[in-house]
Each structure stands twice: as C-alpha cells, then as structure tokens.
C-alpha cells in the first residue's frame, strides 16, 4: 500500500509542524461574548470554491459589522449580507446558504450550537446534508472543527495526493476516500487522539498540496514525499 496514513501524518507533521486549523478570532469572541464555533460554520460555507484569503476578507467585513451570530445573520437583509461576503465569490448563493443555516439553527435550536452538536455524529451529519448548499465536505468541516466530532474531511487537495500516492483506493468519491483514511486511522490511533489528529491531518494535506502538488508544474524535486509518489517511481 505504500506509506500508511498514520505514517504519512507523522511525516507531514515533522515537515510542516502544528497547523492549528481552523483559525478563529478568539479575542473578538471573548470581547463580544459570541461563539467561535459559529465563525467556523460561516467560514466552512464561505470557503466553498474559493481560496481562504478571500474568505478572510469576507469574515473581516462581517466582524466589523458584528454579524457573527446566527441571530444577526438570520435578521440581516440578504442584499446587505451579499455586499459583506462579496470577496468570497459566489456571494449570491453563499448569502442565501448562510441565512438558511442561521434561520434553521435559530428556529430549531434557539441558536444554541451546544445543543446542535451534542448529538450522535451520524444524526447531525444527515441533518446538515438536508440543508441547502451543505455538501459532505462542508458538513464534515462543521462537524470536525466546530463540533469536535471525529470525522475525516476530504477535499480536492486530499484527492490530488491520493492520486499521486500508491493508495489502493478504487474511486475518488468522497465516501470511498473518507472510509479509507478513517478505517486505517481508527486501527492505529486511540479514540482520544482521533479528533486532534483528524484536524491536523486535514490541514497538513492542504499544506502539502498547496506547496508542492497544486501547481501547474508540481514541485516534485523538493517534495517531502518524493520517494513515495507513484508519479516518480
């Protein structure tokens, strides 16, 4: 199979170090008594089909207007919301998605994220996937980073790396890749380690892809996986 996922994680951690993803402005939330988990949820929706640098600009606009709660987003006029999140791209769709999610959270859970996330992982995931504009990657990002549920997030970067490493994955579907990593990691790490490792592993794979694989001409000569990549064997 080549390098096992746990060994891949340890190698990448040794190269890139602690990523501490998902980034949130803890100082802001302490000052305004808001929930940092909702910032993660907003970011998970805004980052769809765009770079994180663009998301940061949109988050900055929301922060300036103190639109960082489900109640505030549910109440704000959608046209105003579109203007604030415009830097993230696809702002028409994303504004409606933010309002749909916020209104749902307010109506069903009183805006209480603790109540929302304090349930079975599968139940929450199925519920999220029924909401407009929430796909597997967005739902799992919310579950892992905001809810501290042990789910392995798969994105385009992960797929790229799986194509290049000799992993026995029959399909590039989200579920197949997720199950491969999840099954392997569950057998090699303890339950208490799963959440922090899943968070770091996802961020490390993103870092690897962005620096080496996700380029018009991949930087294979200096990549830390040069001896493992099937494209070079």
Q: Last residue of some domain: 146, 181, 198?
A: 146
Whether 101 is in a domain gets the answer yes
Name the average pLDDT for the chain.
Answer: 93
**Residues 120, 46 within the same domain:** yes
**Residues 128, 164 within the same domain:** no
Give the C-alpha distances (Å, rounded to integers) separating 174 from 11, 135, 179. Answer: 24, 10, 9
In angstroms, the CA 233 to CA 230 distance is: 5
pLDDT at 167: 85
Could you tell me the pLDDT band of residue 231, with boundaries at 50, 70 and 90? low
pLDDT at 1: 53
pLDDT at 124: 98
CATH number, domain containing residue 45: 1.10.340.30
Whether 50 is in a domain gets the answer yes
Residue 19, both tokens: 């990523």
Q: List Cβ neighbours of 73 (8 Å cut-off, separation of 6 or more).
A: 42, 67, 81, 98, 99, 102
**Residues 141, 58 within the same domain:** yes
In angstroms, the CA 202 to CA 208 distance is: 10
Whether 106 is in a domain gets the answer yes
Is residue 232 predicted with pLDDT exceeding 50?
no
**Residues 200, 117 within the same domain:** no
Q: Residue 135's Cα: distance from chain center in Å?
A: 11
**Residues 70, 109 within the same domain:** yes
**Residues 87, 10 within the same domain:** no
- Give the domain extent around 197: 5-20+152-222
**Residues 187, 217 within the same domain:** yes
**Residues 45, 68 within the same domain:** yes
- Using one digit for the tens of pLDDT, what is the confidence trace for 206-227? 999 989 987 778 888 888 888 8
- State how many domains the chain has: 2
Whether 198 is in a domain gets the answer yes
**Residues 180, 194 within the same domain:** yes
**Region 159-172 average pLDDT:** 85
Query: What per-residue string of b and e applies to 114-135 under the rule 16 or more CB within 10 Å gives b?
Result: eebbeeeeeebbeebeeeeebe
- Using one digit for the tens of pLDDT, what is the confidence trace for 114-131? 999 999 999 999 999 999
- Using one digit for the tens of pLDDT, what is the confidence trace for 11-36? 999 999 999 999 999 999 999 999 99
pLDDT at 233: 43
Cis peptide before 22 (omega within 30 of 0): yes
Query: What per-residue string of b and e applies to 46-72 under the rule 16 or more CB within 10 Å gives b?
Result: bbbebebebbbebbebbbeeebbbbeb
Q: Give the predicted TM-score (pTM) of the model.
A: 0.94
In angstroms, the CA 37 to CA 131 distance is: 18
**Residues 38, 139 within the same domain:** yes
**Residues 139, 42 within the same domain:** yes
Burial of 16 (0-12, 13-18, 19+ CB in 10 A): middle
Residue 209, both tokens: 């892809």
- Using one digit for the tens of pLDDT, what is the confidence trace for 132-147? 999 999 999 999 999 9
Is residue 230 predicted with pLDDT exceeding 70?
no
Q: Last residue of some domain: 114, 146, 178?
A: 146
* 59 phi and psi angles, rounded to 5 deg: -60, -40
**Residues 173, 110 within the same domain:** no
Could you tell me the pLDDT band of residue 40, with boundaries at 50, 70 and 90? very high
Whether 164 is in a domain gets the answer yes
Q: Last residue of some domain: 104, 120, 146?
A: 146
């Amino acid at each position: 199979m080549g390098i096992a996922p746990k060994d891949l994680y340890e190698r990448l951690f040794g190269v890139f170090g602690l990523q501490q993803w998902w980034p949130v402005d803890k100082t802001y939330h302490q000052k305004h008594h808001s929930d940092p988990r909702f910032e993660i949820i907003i970011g998970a929706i805004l980052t769809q089909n765009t770079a994180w640098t663009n998301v940061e600009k949109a988050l900055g606009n929301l922060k300036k207007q103190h639109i960082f709660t489900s109640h505030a987003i549910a109440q704000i006029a959608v046209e105003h919301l579109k203007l604030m999140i415009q830097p993230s791209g696809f702002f028409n769709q994303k504004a409606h998605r933010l309002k749909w999610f916020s209104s749902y959270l307010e109506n069903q859970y009183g805006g209480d994220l603790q109540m929302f996330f304090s349930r079975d992982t599968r139940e929450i995931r199925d519920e999220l996937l029924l909401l407009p504009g929430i796909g597997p990657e967005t739902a799992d990002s919310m579950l892992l980073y905001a809810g501290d549920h042990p789910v392995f997030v798969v994105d385009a970067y992960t797929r790229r790396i799986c194509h290049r490493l000799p992993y026995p994955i029959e399909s590039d579907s989200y579920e197949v890749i997720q199950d491969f990593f999840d099954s392997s990691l569950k057998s090699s790490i303890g339950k208490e380690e799963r959440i922090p490792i899943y968070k770091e592993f996802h961020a490390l794979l993103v870092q690897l892809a962005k620096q080496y694989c996700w380029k018009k001409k991949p930087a294979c000569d200096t990549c830390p996986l040069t001896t493992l990549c099937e494209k070079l064997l």
